[in-house]
Amino acid sequence: MFDHAYNSYMDYAYPADELMPLSCRGRVRGLEPNRGDIDDSLGKFDNDIVVSVFETNIRVLGGLLGAHVMADVLKQRGERMQWYRDELLHMAKELGYRLLPAFNTTSGLPYPRVNLRYGVVNPLSRTGTESDTCTACAGTTILEFAALSRLSGDPIFEEHARKAMDVLWEKRQRGSDLVGTVINIHNGDWVRRDSGVGAGIDSYYEYLMKAYILLGDKVYLNRFNTHYSAIMKYISQPPLLLNVHMHNPTINVRSWMDSLLAFFPGLQVLRGDLKPAIETHEMLYQVTKQHNFLPEAFTTEFRVHWGQHPLRPEFAESTYFLYKATGDPYYLNVGQSIVEKLNTHARVPCGFAAVQDVRTGTHEDRMDSFFLAEMFKYLYLLFSEKSQLPINIDDYIFTTEAHLLPVSLSTTQPPCHTNNTEPQAHEDDLFSYSCPSAQTLFPNNPTFAKTIRDSYKYLTGVGRAQQASPDSQKGVYKLKLVAEVSQTPEHEEVVPLIVQLISPPFLGRTVLTAGSAKFGMDLTKQEHGSVPYTACGPIENAVELQGHIALALRGDCMFAAKARRLQEAGATGVIFIDHREGSSSAETPLFQMVGDGEPTNDITVPLVFLFSKEGATLTATLQEHHNVDVLLLPKEKQLGKESPVEKSLASYAHPALLSVPGLDPSTGKQAAQMSLYSKLYVSGQYVISFNLTEVRYQNKFMQLVSFLSVLF
């Protein structure tokens, strides 16, 4: 796969920075339509061109340093590259000097962009007017700059990178120990105060941990441990990682996650904290099962928020680290699924194309360099034995772009002389200074990872866990991938439910297709008779909810959390309505709502899910008629669909049924019991609910007789 991608680049794009895999040509800056900030990762080197300091550092400088290190290894073995005279290191040093003007700020935080020829302050630079940068942009230079200093002997690079890290540490919110997403490079004020582990912050945390590994400086580890404790306290809501407000971290600032946070389980493995790493990784894996790839952003209920997938490697990265830490072949299966989905959905004649929208599978004429640098490297290492590798991989640390730097730099090269930062006091825990060991953490329990995963394997309602069988060759596993509910009998069948409107003027003729839940009352065995709200906060009208079935909008928190909250408030059931405008059961496959990773035996009320079009029909009906009687039941048991009367009424028996006055319990044609159907009404401005207790059969009897005569 690497050869196909790389050879396509060499055949159709070299020496351009990137390949356009659909057009089969190179992307040359200035010759193709401008894509905005994305093009800041493109260069031309000794040209009058403005580039991203962050992207140029991790892609170009990191690539030159990693290539130099590997070239030097081959040369020292005396087998290959005997002609090499540190040319790549000289290029790296030149590039480092071209990036240094970006650090010429009052605070020491770098400008986000620099002109490769004119720097920042030069009138010809066409940059230097920016006032803000992202936290990751300022805090992701220490590995490359420190390595450049220690390999070249010039400490200036490490000094500037350390200064930027120091500023970010000093500007953390002292109450929460979190950092924001965007900071002013001149005065250090926070511009965006949302805090997470995804886009805008991600590699700052990564580089604190890895700076300790590469450089042996405990200052970085102490800082990372302090931040990590805050992350696990506020941002980690297993299996989710949600952005919070840095000054008030008990408040979630959004209900979606971006795909860049997929690196975080791998970082947790480096720290030795395997349980939350397994939990979040499994959640991400379930999302890829649902959408083939990780969407650029997805909601807390695992629906697409932004549909793009630019072939990001972070999920493969975490898969590799988890396999190395646990030795669990499950992660080989995950890697196999990544390989097969790339070949099936991204491979094109001239390389691999990014996915423009995971919902449609359409391609984008783009193949970023990180795809070559990271994706295939992690996959190759995942499936390789140590003895098959030309180097000892444990002697190196991966940069955020998966370039390899030797950890020997901490001892064989002089450190930066300006390290005067005192270690921060921090309460150590089991993982503060340890490497991961499954045997130490989970002694005599080789299935510990599976035990953790099992709570999350149906999180999105799609698919089953994959089954692996050992092949005759070591390290090779066969597996059968399952992707869509409708495509394989191995999946649990999603039994469609309905919401049937039975009061006049509908008389059972309006039927809304609904999805089921993996928890709560089983409506295939029992039936139940419902302006929506999210139910993610305190229930303000709990008194009105007593004895009713509530309608709630999907979103902002998980189904199980809503169900528990409404059940505790006294609701006897819940109908969820999709918050995504335009969704319908005709166009979107039904899925089963799943739990939140915690036991759901406590949720006993019936739960159904309506897509937004069906939900709009129900709410519009309520607005017009106010009193609407409905039944919740499996689709095949729809009233009016079967005859004779005996079979219909008998199959709809409910444990809490009431006898209908005037009907003889002993007759077959007029059954003694009929399912209790309920009055749907508007209760204040918050809840539309069923009244299960105020059915007055004296007033309803004539409607029942009329209804039965129409049906039967």
**Separation of alpha carbons 59 and 418, rounded Å:** 27
- The tokens describing 651, both together, are 């199959």
Beta-strand pair 607-610/687-691? unpaired
207 φ/ψ angles, rounded to the nearest 5 degrees: -80, -20
Which helix or strand (DSSP H or E) is residue 298 part of? strand 297-299
State the catalytic residue, choosing from 18, 39, 40, 202: 202
- Per-residue CA distances from 256 to 197, 243, 555, 621 (Å): 13, 8, 9, 31
Please tell me the distance from the alpha carbon of residue 87 to that of residue 337, in angstroms, as a whole number.
Answer: 39
Closest CA to 347 of 12, 22, 17, 26: 22
Residue 314 known to be catalytic: yes
The catalytically annotated residue of 296, 301, 368, 614 is 296
Q: Quick check: is 202 catalytic? A: yes
Whether the ω angle into residue 239 lies within 30 degrees of 0, i.e. cis, is yes
Distance, in Å, from the CA atom of 453 to the CA atom of 17, rounded to the nearest integer, reads 40
Q: Which residue has the tokens 């890895």?
A: 210
Is 127 among the annotated ligand-binding positions?
no
Question: Who's near 299: CB < 8 A, 6+ residues apart?
Answer: 255, 256, 257, 305, 555
CA dihedral for 657, 660, 664, 669, sign (positive or negative): negative
**Residues 669, 646: contact at Cβ < 8 Å?**
yes
508: left (phi over 0), alpha (psi -120 to 50) or beta: left
Q: Which of 55, 177, 556, 629 is catalytic?
A: 55
Rounded to whole angstroms, the Cα distance separating 348 from 342 reads: 10
DSSP annotation of 674:
E
Question: Which one of 17, 314, 328, 401 is the catalytic residue?
Answer: 314
Residue closest to 680 by CA, chosen among 692, 663, 696, 668:
692
Pairing relationship of beta strands 240-241 and 236-237 according to DSSP bridges: antiparallel
Q: How far is CA 484 from CA 227, 304, 423, 670, 701, in A?
A: 39, 16, 51, 44, 46
CB 593 within 8 A of CB 571: no
Does residue 55 have an active-site annotation? yes
> Look-up: residue for tokens 């791998």?
266
Task: Tell me the binding residues.
Answer: 400
Task: Tell me the binding residues for Ca(2+).
Answer: 400
**Which residue numbers are catalytic?**
55, 202, 296, 314
